[in-house]
Structure 1
Amino acid sequence: MQFTRTLPRELVHRAALAEVFLTDAERHGEDDFLLAAQLPRRHAFYHDTLGDRARHDPMLLLEACRQGIYVVAHRYLDVPLGHKFLLRSVEFEVSDPEALACGDHPTQAVVATRVEHRFRNRSGPTGLRLRYAMTIGGREALHARIDYSWMSPSAWTRMRAGQRGALGLPETPVALSGRRVQAARVGRRDPDNAVITAPRTDPDGTRTARLIPDTGHPTLYDHWVDHVPGMLELEALRQLALTAAVDAGTLPAPTALPVGLTARFRCFAETDLPLECRTGPVLPGADIECSLHQSGNLAAEVRLRLADPATTGALAAPAAHSAV
């Protein structure tokens, strides 16, 4: 597989070449594919951390896998470019923390990808469940699974118009602004990479903050979409979970890595309505239960495991998760 140039940006639904991480794709049988990825040594979003920069953020590896959903659909299943895609569930687990190490050159990764299930209706396939195993330097770094679906632009427009109309929202979204939490509280250096408001803790131990959908963010909104992207939702809950773990005393600083995650996206999250992030009480050694709520509806639920990069034992034993 080649790592000398990226795949076409339109094939992975990215506008900026710098945000394209996949470099090659091959088909090996009806349901099996290989993807090649080059991970940057430094990225303005994924490597913006107050902690150890010697390891890749697992969310960067997940993003490379996410880009693969489009490659498999467009290149090998003849889903037309221009079709709209919807994340339904996402999960990953770091299988070898040492494989996350950043070297003196961009990291080359190979992602074994398999179709586990095809979703269909009367007209044919409407989505896939893909399983991934990412290998870096001969070591399996990450296992992931993504459920997703697609639809034509006209069907998407009708669906979204109906959804937004039912909420009394205008056709074109306008993102709500808000005062961001101090970047250092969520382990970031760049204030623009903090994506939640300052958290508050309720008497029952529930921690809440509001997600800030900055539609000008060059990574999280690489191109215009009419809703809050799934990767932004995951980032907001990661940041809230970090503050909760630090305040609960289970982490010394907000510099932990997400080493295991299971997420289900229940409905669209609109940019122009308040979107509340919540975490339950944080217990030592336990996954953190998180959720997103908007207009009285559950938008997403996430189970997240964090581990401090300085604690090798914690990184080496992520929790096992069952299958956006």
Structure 2
Amino acid sequence: MGARTVGHRQTITRELVHKWSIDEVFITDFEPISEDRMALGAQLPRAHGFYCEYPLQNRQPDLALLVEICRQACFVVAHQQFGVPVEGNNYQFLFQELDAELVNKRPLDTTRPVNAVVDSTVERVWKRGNMVSGLLWRFVMQANEEKLAVIRIRMTWIERTKWREMREFMRRGRSLPSELKMPDPPTTSLTPQEVGRVNPENIVLADLSYGDEVSTATIRADIGHPVLFDHPIDHIYGMVQLEAARQLAVATISRRTGTPASEIRMTACATSFTSVAEFDLPTELRARVGSADDPAKKHLGTPLTIEVSQQGRVASRFDLHARMD
């Protein structure tokens, strides 16, 4: 997978993956293969405050963690292969599409660190004038010489000065002040066990209710969360929405099947992000499930569709697959 084997001795510089905290960097190395291909190294944490709350002995990896690793790889490729400047942090990157699937659902041997290799291929390039402004990536992730996942991500980016102008225009159109005053996160009565979590600070849902065909909730976005909000940002970005959708899916399936939420795993996700989600507007999630007379277990292994919206405007849509451990 390239001219040399990518290493796993240390993580790369945090600026390349847009992180402030060193402990949130999962990429360990990278090596260009051709104009549109790159090999990257990554190490899957065996314990992590957000991605790996449960002991990982002989467990399959968290798909959201693999998505985050590939999201970090997007930044490396954009900066190192396509010339997007790192210095000055002058570009805002925006998640547009995600298609992720666990290929190997067998548990990993986590008695030692799990070193992964990510094969990145750029499938399409978008330009604004002569400048590259977006990419579509296909990532194939392997560990222990076995394929773990195939993940496609589409991102675009824009100069921050233009982004600020766009955001002011957006917020005026939504009857919001041009300058964001960050609200306190909503409280939640949910327990970690209901959404497959251990730490209550990792709950990103509030106001969860169940119906025969639809489950609903609101997003609880806490900017003090050290993983989800590693650094300041002016909107509820894609990974927060992904986690909220996953928690709603897990809670819904658990309620309908009687399966403990901790035993339900997201195995595939197809997502489109269509609008910027604001911190200072209620963010609603609606999960469509089958009719009341459908066998509950049907929803393990079939898509559960979740829409994230504000003021009736759809911000994102998720088609999730899940299964029991």
Q: What's the counterpart of residue 132 of structure 2?
A: 125
From 222, 227, 232, give the equivalent of 2:235: 227
Deviates more, 1:155-164 or 1:280-289: 280-289
Amino acid paired to 1:305: H
Compute the displacement of 1:307 (Å): 1.0
Deviating 4+ runs (over 6 angstroms): 50-53
**In structure 2, C-alpha distance between the alignment counterparts of 1:107 and 1:218, rounded to whole Å:** 23
Tell me the residue number matched to 1:291.
Answer: 307
Name the counterpart of 2:194.
185
Give the SS at the match of 2:315.
strand
- My pick for the range that moved more, 127-136 or 104-113, is 104-113
The answer to whether structure 1 residue 167 and structure 2 residue 174 are counterparts is: yes
Once the two structures are TM-superposed, the CA of residue 108 in structure 1 deviates from its matched residue by 0.4
TM-score normalised according to structure 2 size = 0.90
- Contact in 2 for aligned 1:38/1:107 (Cα 8 Å): yes
Deviation of 1:177 (Å): 2.3
Distance 2:49 2:184 in 1: 24
Supply the distance in 2 between the matched residues of 1:209 and 1:51 (Cα, whole angstroms): 29
The alignment partner of 2:242 has SS state of helix
Q: Distance in 2 between matches of 1:237 and 1:305?
A: 11
State the partner residue of 1:73: 78
The alignment yields a C-alpha RMSD, in angstroms, of: 1.6
Percent identity reads 32
Matched residue count: 306
Residues 50 and 189 in structure 1, CA contact (< 8 A), matched pair in contact too? no
List aligned pairs for 1:37-52, cutoff 5 A: 37-49=42-54
SS in structure 2 opposite 1:271?
coil
3-state SS, counterpart of residue 197 of structure 1? strand
CA contact (8 A) 2:125 2:134 kept: yes
**Distance apart, 1:121 and its partner CA:** 2.5
Please say if residues 31 and 39 of structure 2, whose CA atoms lie closer than 8 Å, have aligned partners that are also in contact: yes
1:301 to 298, 306, 317: 317
TM-score when scaled to structure 1? 0.91
**Cα distance, 1:102 vs structure 2:** 4.5
Q: Determine whether 1:269 maps to 2:274.
A: no
Separation (CA, whole Å) in 2 of partners of 1:188 and 1:216: 18
Q: Deviations over 1:56-91 (max 9, x none)?
A: 211111110010111011111110121110000011
Following superposition, the deviation at residue 169 of structure 1 comes to 2.0
Match of 2:120 among 88, 97, 113: 113
- Provide the residue aligned with 2:218 in structure 1: 210
The whole-number CA distance in structure 1 between the counterparts of 2:109 and 2:224 is: 28
Alignment of 1:89-100 (within 5 A): 89-98=97-106, 100=107
Give the AA of the match of 1:113: S
Higher relative contact order (CA 8 A, sep 6+): 1
Q: Aligned partners of 2:46, 2:309: CA distance in 1, in Å?
A: 35
Q: CA deviation at 1:3?
A: 0.9
Which residue in the other structure is 1:316 paired with?
none
